[in-house]
Structures are given as structure tokens and as C-alpha cells.
Structure 1
Amino acid sequence: MNVGKGLTRRSLVLGAAGGALSPWAVAQGGGVTAWPQRPLRLVVGFPPGSSPDTTARTLAEPLAARLGQPVVVDNRPGAAGNIAADAVARATDGHTLGLMINGNLTVAKLLNPATPYDPHTDLAPVSLLVKAPLVLCAGPQVQARGAAVWAAAQQAGDRWNYGSPGVGTLAHLGMELLQSRAGWRAVHVPFPGNPQVIQAMLRGEVHLALLPPGLALQQAETGRLQAVAVTSGGRSPLAPHVPSLAEVGLPDVELEVWNAVAAPRAMAAAHVARVANALVDVVRQPDIRAKLFQQGWQVVGTSPEGLARRIASDTARMREVIERLNLRVG
């Protein structure tokens, strides 16, 4: 696909280097070819305004400045981000990357064997960018507060529901894990992204959701949603005033959501390393780190090997949850 076409329909983000040729070059057949040679496409599997989309747009301009080419943020929502991940896996232009969430890189194939790509063989890890616990939120129609939400949810049974940004996301698997521990039976309602989950909660259509801190606290601070607990072992610096799950009666449950960049497996290793180094440099800049923190993220910034290790460990942990709960989609 020629990413130079249709840029009026997407976000074209130009770095300080503009369209200048990158000084990075690799040897090919005795010659030297600069890379990247044209705009890079950063595919995001969720709609504008979602947490992954915000991360991508925060990083696109400084990434473009370091790589010497524009970065195009291309939103392709659907199937909890797996449509976009499949597009990245199939890309052969050498200039396509994907900003993905946990599920796209770990459990997609476990949940649905018909998923057209395999995250472990068709995608190349680039960098784990940011991580955060989730925040269990309750909608305005939930009168219970704090730990009392547990008893209210138990009593409500399947008359309550919960929203997620899609089947197989951590917000979905995590809530099923919470339900199995807490004795809830709330009905799952998937949405295209977290903005739609929040809007449904504000309309009184959804009772509960696990949301990223940046989105959850925006609503909780104005009293529109209730932040019940964070899914970390203790209180999180991202939400210091919100109790942990252990404090409200559910110990030994820890869940983290993260955003990472992956490439097609066919992308040259030198190019993957080039992008990884640039991304690590970007996320560790004080101004970018501060922006990401305000959005509800703790910066990580790993090597490709670091992301590969996280993918392996999270896949093993979520495999256990999926098999125990006999979860399948599709």
C-alpha cells in the first residue's frame, strides 16, 4: 500500500526533520539504501480518542523527527485491535508498524484459533512502551460505594453488565478473572473502544468496566464515574487516591494493560532495531514522559528482546485464565 495516498483522511504527523532523507542506511547488494525511504504507517486498532490512539499521536511527531520521515497514524478499529494487527502482519512494504495492546500480541490466537495471524510467528516485537494497572469503575446508576460494590454486584447477578473495548482485551479477560474470584455474574458487552464504553456508562447503560487510569480518572474526578479500585498489588502512582483491589477485599489479583509497537516479521532486523532505539529515546524524554503520565501511563521503553519476554510471560499467565474459564470467541 502506498501510504502517501489518502493522507487527508488520516493524521499525517511531520517531525522536525520533515521529509528529509534519514541518515540511517543499510547495505543491499553491495550498495547502500537509506531507510526509511518514505512515510511510515503506524496502524492503531482502536478509534480516535481511545487510549492506544492517544499514545500513538503523542509519539508520532517526535518519532518522525528521529527517523527523518513522516509518521501516519492509521486507525483501523475492530475485533479488539486484531484487524489492525493482521494488517500489520500482512504488510510487505517495509514501512508499516502497529501500536498494539496486550491481547493483540499475546492471546489473540488462544481465544480464537481462526484469528488470521499468529502474534508469535507473524509479528516482530519492537518495544514495550508504557504500562498501567486498570481501574475498576462503576456507572452513575450504581449506588454502592467502595467495597460495597462487591456485595451489590453479587446480589445483582446477571442483571448487571460490564463493558470492554472488545472480546479478548485485558478489560474483558481481567473482568472475567475478577468475576470468578468475587462471585459476580455480570454480562459482558463489547464496544469498539473505551470512549464508547464510557459514553454507555454515562448514559446508565453499563454498570461496570475496567478502564485505563487516564480515562478513568478524568471521569472520576468530576464525579461522573466512581473509581472503585486499581488492579495492582498496591496503590498506583498513577491513581494514588484509589484503593487497590486488596484494600476492597480481593487480594492476589494484579492486571496491567500496556501499549507496544510491533512490526511484520518480514521487516529487516536492522530496521526493527532502528525503530526500537528511536522509540526508547522518545518515551524517555522528560516532556514525553510527563505527557504519557498525564494520560495514565508509566513509561517502560524496552528493547525488542524485552518486549518478547513480556509477551511470553503474559501469554503464559493469560493462557491459564482462558483455559480455566473455558473462554473462546469466534
Structure 2
Amino acid sequence: MLRHLLKNAIFLIAATAVSTGALAQKASKAPAAWPTKPLRILVGFPGGSSPDLVARALQEPLSKALGQPVIVENRPGAGGNIAANLVAKATDDHTIGVMINGNMTIAKLLNPATPYDPEKDLAPISLIGTAPLVLTVPVSAPGHNAQDFFVAARNAGNKWSYGSPGVGTVGHIGMELLKAKTGIDPVHVPYPGNPQVIAAMIGGQINLALLPPGLATTQIRAGKLRAIGVTSAGRSSLAPEIPSLAEAGIQGYQLEIWTAAAAPANMPKPILARLSALISEIVRTPEMRQKLFIQGWQVAGTSPEGLANRIKSDTALLGGVIAMRGIRVD
């Protein structure tokens, strides 16, 4: 009788353990083996843009680490929000995005009709890199220095125009903040991405733009564009030859762009943790540091919590400019 009772007890304990394990696995939705197919990285801007270059730099080392192909897909439009929405709505546990500030912070503040909510629908993976912007102009722009340029820009009023990679991007909001700080008033012209902004500036269609240093310095050193200043408090190691706008007398104007990896909010936590550890480790290797530095990024490589903190602070900063300037996306 005792032997029979012990046998039943052991069976019940084992059954409970199996049931508990099954429930835990179901709750986390973590597959036994992941990844089971290629990982997709969606980018909301065209080939050659800063987020695209970052995603493609990650492609090979991440593929080796995961043992599966990594496919980069460009889905440009709406300032990167088309791709961000596709990431937010993905349910296959094999889709992530490489995004910029705006996609992960103020998208819903700009347009309540935005089909995803950055706070609720995206899960932070890792902050990859940060950079100031470079105020860039055509080589034919007036003024021999920054002070003279801003005098000419103020005199031009709304006869001048500036480009950005889309309404609500940091290139757009940052220029609106610069307008408030300096009294200039160029008209906004949005483009699908910064490569198109650069082409328009070289072609004389627009008069100025805030560009990532990795894209701006290539054109500046080739003599195709000219730099007025960087948006950091002092000179940046990414472009030490370019003075800061603070040196031109524009005080209290500091702005950074960043790029980060994000996943759908429904992605299982074990997969998020693995991706975060891998991506942050990859970008901090000497080889990737150098590659991203050449592209114009100061490497961060944070935890999900570190990225979440940055999202919170940038939402407050950029959201303040949106409210002050009445920026909306129709």
C-alpha cells in the first residue's frame, strides 16, 4: 500500500513539473530552438542611408552568431514609420528593425493616427550608436563663416528651404528648433531619405539641411557641400575639423541622432535578451567600432533598459519642440 501511494505521489509531482514547465514555456512563447529561419531586419529608409548602413554592418556578424541568414529589407517612407509599423505588427519572432530616434519616441505625438505606438508596440533591444548632426549647405551658400551665413539666412526668410528625410525625423525637428533659436525661417521640404536630401542640396534645390556626420563629411571633404557647424556642445570626434554651432554663438542648442535595434513588443523575452546581448557585443568589438565610426556613429551598445531610458529622455526633448512649433503630420 505504501509503495502504491509513493508511486502515485511521484507520478503527481512529475506531472505537475511537466505541466508547470509547459505553462512557463507557453507564457514566454520561447521556442525550443531559435532562430529557426532567417532573421529579417527592416529599415525605414533607402539604401545608403545611415540606418541602412548600420543594418548592413550588423548583417554578417549577426548571421554568424545566430547560425541563420540575416536579411536586410528597405521599406522607406513616412520618416521611417512604415518599417517601424511592420516591425510592431510582426508575429513571427524573426523580425526586428534598425530605427532612428523619431520612430521610437515621438511618432504618435506627431500624428495620433500613426498605426503603432512606440511605447506599447515596440520592445527596445539595444542603442547602437549616437551622433550630432552637421548643419550643411551648398558650396555656393553665402557667408564666409557661420555668423555671416546666419545673417544671410535671416535676410532670406522663407525664400530659402531646407531638406530632411521626412516629417518628424530629427533632421526636421532639429531644424525647427534651430529656427526658433536663430530667427531663420527656411521652408521644410521632406525627402524619402538623406541621400536624396544631399542630391537636392548639391543640385541647388534646397539651401541647407541637418545631416548625419557619416554622410555629410564625405560630401564636405569632396568639396561638394560645406559645413556650418555641428549640433554638439563642443567639437565632435566624428568630425573634429567642423566647429560647433555653439562656437558660432548659438547657445543652448544640443541635438543628437541615434540608431537602435527594436523588436515587436510581443517578441518573447528570452529572444529579446539574446538579441540584445549579441548586438551590443557585436557593435562594441574593435572592428565594428571602427566601421561604425567611419559611418559616423559613436558606439553605444546598451541593454534594453539603457535604450528605454534614452527613449524616455528624447521623447521629452523632441516632444517639447513638437509642441512649441506646432509640428503635425497629416
TM-score normalised over the length of structure 2: 0.90
Task: Give the match for residue 177 of structure 1.
Answer: 177
1:292 equivalent to 2:292? Answer yes
Task: Give the match for residue 319 of structure 2.
Answer: 319
Task: Give the match for residue 161 of structure 1.
Answer: 161
Task: Give the match for residue 89 of structure 2.
Answer: 90
Q: Within 2, Cα distance between the matches of 1:315 and 1:209?
A: 22
Is the 8 Å Cα contact of residues 145 and 228 (structure 1) preserved in structure 2? no
Shift of 1:146: 2.3
Residue identity over aligned pairs, in percent, reads 59
Shift of 1:32: 6.7
Shift of 1:249: 1.6
Q: Within 1, Cα distance between the matches of 2:217 and 2:272?
A: 35
Q: Which has the larger radius of gyration?
A: 2
Task: Give the match for residue 267 of structure 1.
Answer: 267
1:221 equivalent to 2:218? Answer no
Is the 8 Å Cα contact of residues 100 and 259 (structure 1) preserved in structure 2? yes
Q: Within 2, Cα distance between the matches of 1:32 and 1:99?
A: 23
Q: Within 2, Cα distance between the matches of 1:131 and 1:143?
A: 30
Is the 8 Å Cα contact of residues 140 and 204 (structure 1) preserved in structure 2? no
Higher normalized helix content (fraction of residues): 2
Which amino acid in structure 2 is aligned with residue 80 of structure 1? G
Moved more, 61-70 or 161-170: 61-70
Which amino acid in structure 1 is aligned with residue 180 of structure 2? S
Task: Give the match for residue 200 of structure 1.
Answer: 200
Q: Within 2, Cα distance between the matches of 1:31 and 1:119?
A: 23
1:74 equivalent to 2:73? Answer yes
Is the 8 Å Cα contact of residues 30 and 271 (structure 2) preserved in structure 1? no
Shift of 1:33: 1.1
Task: Give the match for residue 111 of structure 1.
Answer: 110
Residues 33 and 136 (structure 1), Cα distance of their counterparts in 2 relative to 1, 3 Å cut: same
Task: Give the match for residue 40 of structure 1.
Answer: 39
Deviations 1:19-40 (CA, angstroms, capped at 9, x unpaired):
xxxxxxxx83699711111100
Q: Within 2, Cα distance between the matches of 1:65 and 1:227?
A: 39
Which amino acid in structure 1 is aligned with residue 40 of structure 2? R
- Paired residue secondary structure (1:329): coil
TM-score normalised over the length of structure 1: 0.90
Residues 160 and 31 (structure 1), Cα distance of their counterparts in 2 relative to 1, 3 Å cut: closer
Shift of 1:141: 3.2
RMSD of aligned Cα (Å): 1.3
Task: Give the match for residue 145 of structure 1.
Answer: 144
Which amino acid in structure 1 is aligned with residue 121 of structure 2? D
1:248 equivalent to 2:248? Answer yes
Residues 248 and 31 (structure 1), Cα distance of their counterparts in 2 relative to 1, 3 Å cut: closer
Q: Which segments of 5 or more consecutive residues in structure 2 lack a partner in the other structure?
A: 1-23
Deviations 1:45-95 (CA, angstroms, capped at 9, x unpaired):
001111110010011110111112111001000000000000000001110
Shift of 1:278: 0.3
Deviations 1:256-288 (CA, angstroms, capped at 9, x unpaired):
000000000000011001000000111011011
Deviations 1:182-214 (CA, angstroms, capped at 9, x unpaired):
001100000000000000011111100000001
Which amino acid in structure 1 is aligned with residue 62 of structure 2? L
Q: Within 2, Cα distance between the matches of 1:110 and 1:157?
A: 28
Q: Within 1, Cα distance between the matches of 2:328 and 2:139?
A: 31
Shift of 1:228: 0.7
Residues 64 and 182 (structure 1), Cα distance of their counterparts in 2 relative to 1, 3 Å cut: same
Q: Which segments of 5 or more consecutive residues in structure 1 lack a partner in the other structure?
A: 1-26
Is the 8 Å Cα contact of residues 30 and 270 (structure 2) preserved in structure 1? no
- Paired residue secondary structure (1:47): coil
Which amino acid in structure 2 is aligned with residue 265 of structure 1? A
Q: Within 2, Cα distance between the matches of 1:248 and 1:223?
A: 22
